[in-house]
Structure 1
């Protein structure tokens, strides 16, 4: 009985050794020593991927990897994209990762109020994106955070940003308040871009939108400083005070020398500024000036506004910003 037990034990040991030999010599093994990116191109076959894995030194045998896939894997197709292969992963785990489509995603953030020229610069600076793209039309990009993959075309990412804007505009327009001062989605987008640039205080957006809506209805010039700057810098910071000659400049954007809205957006407004224009605060304000806290003081009369302007100038004199 004891001898029989020894024989059984020997058989099991030999079987295990044979299995190990078969696994290592025939099926091969993964040899990942550190976190390694691996890209599967669109349309790549499993055979081609196995060859790439072997060439990169991530497995010992492409043929063994394919045999292991046939013996132990399932019929799910592999997915294209970039994968992160970790130390200690087995061949079966590598295959499972490829089939699951758990690709590495990277992100680019477009802040509210970023003009299209700066969106273009940010996208072009992403080294893992491919291809050139023109500067997108102003106002066509929805500020948000977007995912992309290594090797993705820059144009595809821009199209994703524009599709998001189109979708949000359509949804927001359908929920607009009755009697607003703009008649079209395009006009709403233009006015929202002005609201976006005029205040950095979220709680003021609806008040600012209401003020400009009042001016549009009453036939007053909007007189929004950012509309002076846009033709000069295409939305980039001016970096200095506006000159009197620039205030008097006649063009399609300067709302100090024209009635109504500019000919186009002056930046890419965010969701909140668009929503503010489509549901503005109801009040009788026609004027506003900075209040020194990052916000604005609003007034319904020119007399009240002039007094607020004087307070603002006095505050700046007290701060030593002006003489």
Structure 2
């Protein structure tokens, strides 16, 4: 009995040592560990030991077998999941096993601002090192109607339907297709119900709604002006007047004007399917990803008599009912911008 007891005590002491956390400081940095699909339990143990996260690969193997049996009996026939994990040497072996089993991968967040185009998104993802911009553009040219049957027909790409939001993904899961699926799902959750709730009275198709909202998004700087701008655009469409909005010209030409470099007359007159100065109606697709606020503004535009608006370069606009008032406002803004600031009078 003494030998058995001694042996049991020795085994308990070894097992307690093996499952205890590594002796490290409280400020020990996290260790990033990548597990590829199909990696064996033995290989995972070797990688954990090499990273200084566990002491014994034998203990890892024994614990993994026991853990697998226990979870299987509990009706959870899972296994360690692939992905990239952020682990601490302070974690015990059982805690590490649980993290890998439950797939608590390290998450990487990304934020798509309101008003971004697909091209801006692609460049952003490339700059973050997620994937090449051309990979994203190619994926955004695929219209997954099997998964999202509400997407409009005859769409050359998903411009406007990739909802701007902050997202989080497991670091081992980031692909253009998965990112796009998340953004379309968010549109389906947030934006689509807005349209469907008013579709019986709304004269706009889903694509036209998003297209008009994308123009409002690019034109409006202040939230309180969204509905007013939407009202102006609605007025123009109702009387058959060209929309005449600069962002559509910029989108068609792949350029962006600035206060110091506005669009030229030649650019405004350059033929393009997106040029709303020369083409009546809406452009063929959205020109950016509109926010919920812009989508709501198009559903509930301000009722007004304005047909024109011009930016003051401080975020606000001057709204006019007549062309004469509009041209006067343009001239006043130009003069104010061209005039040098007055010098203080020094006695």
Kindly indicate whether the alpha-carbon contact (under 8 Å) linking 2:41 and 2:64 is maintained by their aligned counterparts in 1: no
- 2:56 match: 61
**How many residues get paired?**
306
Structure 1 residues 125-164: aligned runs within 5 Å: 125-127=127-129, 133-135=135-137, 136=140, 137=157, 138-152=159-173, 153-164=175-186
Q: Compute the displacement of 1:111 (Å).
A: 0.6
Question: Shift of residue 17 of structure 1?
Answer: 5.9
**SS of corresponding position for 2:33:** strand
Cα pair distance change 1:128/1:188, threshold 3 Å: closer
1:184-195 alignment, distance < 5 Å: 184-195=205-216
Is the aligned partner of 1:314 residue 2:335?
yes
**In terms of Rg, which structure is larger?**
1
1:221 equivalenced with 2:221 (yes/no): no
Report matched runs for 1:26-37 at 5 Å.
Answer: 27=18, 31=22, 34=28, 35-37=30-32
Could you tell me whether the CA contact under 8 Å between 2:53 and 2:88 is conserved in 1? Answer: no
Tell me, in whole angstroms, the C-alpha distance in 2 between the residues paired with 1:122 and 1:163. 20
User: Where does the alignment leave 5 or more consecutive residues of structure 1 unmatched?
Assistant: 1-11
Instruction: Decide whether aligned partners of structure 1 residues 128 and 307 sit closer, same or farther in structure 2, where only a CA change above 3 A counts.
Output: closer
Distance 1:86 1:292 in 2: 51
Deviation at 1:185, TM superposition (A): 0.6
Find the aligned partners of 1:213 and 1:29 in 2 and give their Cα distance: 68
TM-score, with length taken from structure 2: 0.77
The 1-side partners of 2:227 and 2:58 are apart by 65
- Match for residue 237 of structure 1 among 231, 256, 263: 256
1:127-159 Cα shifts (integer Å, max 9, x gaps):
355896241332232111111222322332123
Aligned-partner SS, 2:63:
helix
Following superposition, the deviation at residue 301 of structure 1 comes to 2.6
1:237-287 deviation digits (Å, cap 9, x = unpaired): 245221111111222111111211112222222221122112212222111
User: For residues 7-46 of structure 1, what are the structure 2 equivalents within 5 Å?
Assistant: 19-24=12-17, 27=18, 31=22, 34=28, 35-46=30-41
Alpha-carbon RMSD across the aligned residues, in angstroms, is 3.1
Q: Match for residue 255 of structure 1? A: 276
C-alpha displacement of 1:115: 1.3
Aligned to 2:345: none
Matched, 1:91 2:93: yes
In 2, Cα distance between equivalents of 1:51 and 1:131: 36
Partner of 1:276: 297
Matches within 5 A, 1:117-132: 117-127=119-129
SS at match of 1:288: strand
Q: 1:121 and 1:303, CA in 2 relative to 1: closer, same or farther beyond 3 A?
A: same
Q: How far off is 1:305 after superposition? A: 2.5
Normalising by structure 1, we get a TM-score of 0.82
- Kindly tell me: are residues 127 and 54 of structure 1, through their superposed partners in 2, closer, same or farther at Cα, counting changes over 3 Å? same
**Do the aligned partners of residues 226 and 129 (structure 1) sit closer, same or farther apart at CA in structure 2, a change above 3 Å counting?**
closer
Report the 3-state secondary structure (helix = DSSP H, G, I; strand = E; otherwise coil) of the residue aligned with 2:198. coil
Partner of 1:295: 316
Local SS of the residue matching 2:211: helix
Any idea what SS the aligned residue of 2:34 has? Answer: strand
Deviations 1:39-76, CA, capped at 9 Å, x for gaps: 23345454442243234443233232121344578415
On the 8 A contact 2:163/2:186 being kept in 1, the answer is yes
Distance 1:287 1:104, change over 3 A: same
